[in-house]
C-alpha cells in the first residue's frame, strides 16, 4: 500500500475508527504517515486547547412560554397559478397518487371527517404541492413526490398522516435521494428509508432533510374541501390548453367492459402531442393522442368520454373528469404489445396507463416513474 492510499485511513485512525489491516501495517512502518497522524492529533489537541481558552459564556436565562400558534386558515384565495418548472413536473410523472393504489381521487368535498392538508414543497428551486386528508381515510392520508434534481439523481419524499391535535398535524416523513438514477420506485425505494415524525402548523415554514442530498422547505395549510386534482390542487376541473388528463379510465367495446382502472396521470400544459397510453394484459396497448399520427383513426371527445371505432367495433372510454380541450383524438391499438419488452422492470400481467408526449411513447423503450 502507498501513502496516498492510506492517507484517508490515517484520519479515520485518528478518530478511533477501525481501518483495514493493510493500511494499519503501512502506517506502522511509514514515517510520512506517522508524521501525518501526529499532525492530525496535534491539530485536534490544539483545537481543544483553543476551545478551553475561549470563554464559554453563561447563557441568558429566558422564559419558555407557550408561543401563540399561527392563525388557522380555513379558506384560501383561489385563482393562483401553481408554478412548476417543466423539468420538475416532468419528473413527477407517475405521480403522487400511485402511492396508494386504487385511489378515489375526485371528490367535491371531504366527508365531514376533518379538513384537508395542502402541503407545499420548495425543493431544488421548484414549487410542488400535494394533498393529504387528516380524517383517517386510509386512501387519502398519504402523498408524496419525486423530483429529478439538478446535478443528477432523484429525490423522493413521502408524507403520512399520523395524528392531529387542534391546528397541529403530526406527519410521518420519508425523504431519500437516489444519486445516479433517473427513476424512482415508490414502493421499493422507500422501503428501507427511516420515517421521522414532524408537527405541521398552518403557515409555518420548516426544513426537512433529505439524507445525502440537502433539505427542502415545507409549509402546510388546511382546506375544507378536497381539490379536484390532488396532485395539482389549485387547478380547476377543466384541463388547460394542450393538457391531457386521465383519471380512473373505463374502456367499453360494444357492450363489453374491457377494463376498469383507478389512478391518474397528466401531462403539463403546452404539449400539442399529449398522448395517453393504456396497457392492459391480453388487450395490448392503446395510444390516444391529441395529435394525428401514422396509422391512427380519429375519435371524438366529450366531457368525460372519448369515442372511436377500430376494426368495425365501437369503443367508449369513460373517465372521471374531462381529459382534454381538444375535440378530436387519434387512436391506435396494438394487441400484440408486450409491456415487458418496452419498459424496464415491467411485467406483462400488470395494467398501467400514463400520459406522455407522443414522441416518447413511440420510442422502442419507454420510461415510467413507478
Partner 1 sequence: MPDDRELWERIGRGDALAFDALYRTDAPKLELFLRQILRSRQAAEDVMQETFAQIWRNPNGFEPTRGALGAYLFGAARKRAAEWWRKQDAASNRKIETERSESKAEIASLVGDAFARLPEEQQTLIWLREVEGQSYAELAVILEIPVGTVRSRLFTAREALRSVWHAPPNAIRRAHEV
Interface segment toward partner 1; rule CB under 8 A; list 207-215, 254-262, 296-304, 319-327: 207-215
Shortest approach of partner 1 to residue 72 CB, angstroms? 16
Candidate list 197, 236, 300, 340; residue touching partner 1; CB under 8 A: 197
Report the residue number, 52 or 336, with the smaller CB distance to partner 1: 52
* Site membership for partner 1, residue 151 (CB under 8 A): no
Residue 43 sits in the site that holds partner 1 (CB under 8 A):
yes
Check residue 120 for interaction with partner 1 (CB under 8 A): no
Grid cell of 342 as nine digits: 418496452
State the Cα angle at 320 between 319 and 321, rounded to 5°.
95
Burial class (CB in 10 A: 0-12, 13-18, 19+), 353: buried
The only residue of 29, 65, 294, 327 in contact with partner 1, by rule CB under 8 A: 65
Q: Minimum Å distance from CB 184 to partner 1?
A: 18
Any contact of residue 180 with partner 1 (CB under 8 A)?
no
Identify which of 307, 302, 309, 286 has the alpha carbon closest to the alpha carbon of residue 361.
286
Stretch 16-35: interaction string toward partner 1, x if CB under 8 A: -x------------------
Element (H, E) at 21: helix 21-29
Helix (H) or strand (E) holding 22: helix 21-29
Pick left, alpha or beta for residue 192 (phi over 0 → left; psi -120 to 50 → alpha; otherwise beta).
Answer: alpha
Interface pick for partner 1 out of 100, 127, 137, 206 (rule CB under 8 A): 206
Contact 123, 155 (CB under 8 A): yes
Question: Are 219 and 265 spatial neighbours (Cβ–Cβ below 8 Å)?
Answer: no
| DSSP track, 246-262 | EES-EEEETTEEEEE--
Ranges within 308-367 binding partner 1 (CB under 8 A): none
The answer to whether 263 and 129 have CB atoms below 8 angstroms apart is no
The residue with cell 418548472 is: 85
**Beta carbons of 142 and 125 less than 8 angstroms apart:** no
352 three-class SS: strand
Residue 192 in the binding site for partner 1 (CB under 8 A): no
Q: Minimum distance between the CB of residue 206 and partner 1, rounded to whole angstroms?
A: 6
Per-residue binding letters, 208-237, with partner 1 (x by CB under 8 A) = xxxxxxxx----------------------
One of 40, 87, 225, 293 touching partner 1 (CB under 8 A): 40
Give the footprint of partner 1 on this chain (CB under 8 A): 7-8, 10-12, 14-15, 17, 36, 39-40, 43-44, 46-48, 50-51, 54, 56-59, 62-67, 194, 196-199, 201, 204, 206-215
Amino acid at each position: 500500500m502507498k501513502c496516498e492510499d492510506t492517507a484517508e485511513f490515517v484520519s479515520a485512525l485518528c478518530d478511533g475508527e477501525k481501518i483495514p489491516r493493510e493500511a494499519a501495517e503501512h502506517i506502522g512502518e511509514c514515517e510520512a504517515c506517522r508524521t501525518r497522524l501526529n499532525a492530525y492529533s496535534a491539530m485536534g489537541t490544539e483545537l481543544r486547547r483553543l476551545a478551553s481558552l475561549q470563554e464559554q459564556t453563561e447563557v441568558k436565562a429566558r422564559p419558555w412560554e407557550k408561543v401563540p400558534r399561527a392563525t388557522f386558515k380555513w379558506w384560501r384565495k383561489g385563482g393562483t397559478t401553481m408554478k412548476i418548472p417543466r423539468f420538475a413536473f416532468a419528473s413527477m410523472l407517475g405521480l403522487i397518487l400511485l402511492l396508494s393504489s386504487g385511489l378515489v381521487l375526485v371528490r367535491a368535498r371531504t366527508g365531514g371527517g376533518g379538513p384537508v392538508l395542502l402541503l407545499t414543497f420548495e425543493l431544488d428551486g421548484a414549487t410542488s404541492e400535494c394533498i393529504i386528508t387528516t380524517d383517517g381515510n386510509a386512501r387519502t392520508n398519504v402523498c408524496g413526490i419525486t423530483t429529478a434534481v439538478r446535478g443528477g439523481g432523484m429525490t423522493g419524499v413521502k408524507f403520512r398522516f399520523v395524528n392531529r391535535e387542534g391546528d397541529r398535524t403530526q406527519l410521518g416523513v420519508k425523504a431519500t435521494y437516489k444519486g445516479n438514477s433517473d427513476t424512482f420506485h415508490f414502493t421499493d425505494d422507500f422501503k428501507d428509508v427511516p420515517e421521522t415524525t414532524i408537527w405541521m402548523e398552518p403557515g409555518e415554514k420548516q426544513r426537512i432533510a433529505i439524507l445525502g442530498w440537502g433539505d427542502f422547505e415545507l409549509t402546510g395549510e388546511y382546506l375544507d374541501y378536497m381539490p379536484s386534482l390532488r396532485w395539482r390542487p389549485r387547478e380547476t376541473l377543466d384541463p388547460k390548453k394542450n393538457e391531457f388528463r386521465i383519471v380512473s379510465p373505463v374502456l367499453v367495446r360494444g357492450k363489453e367492459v374491457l377494463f376498469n382502472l383507478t389512478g391518474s396521470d397528466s401531462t403539463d400544459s403546452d404539449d400539442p402531442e399529449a398522448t395517453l397510453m393504456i396497457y392492459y394484459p391480453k388487450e395490448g396497448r392503446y395510444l390516444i393522442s391529441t395529435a394525428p399520427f401514422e396509422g391512427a383513426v380519429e375519435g371524438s371527445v366529450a366531457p368525460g368520454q372519448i369515442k372511436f371505432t377500430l376494426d368495425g367495433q365501437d369503443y367508449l372510454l369513460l373517465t372521471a373528469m374531462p381529459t382534454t380541450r381538444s375535440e378530436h383524438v387519434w387512436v391506435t391499438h396494438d394487441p400484440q404489445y408486450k409491456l415487458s419488452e418496452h419498459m424496464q422492470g415491467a411485467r406483462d400481467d400488470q395494467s398501467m396507463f400514463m400520459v406522455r408526449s407522443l414522441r416518447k411513447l413511440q420510442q422502442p423503450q419507454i420510461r415510467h416513474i413507478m
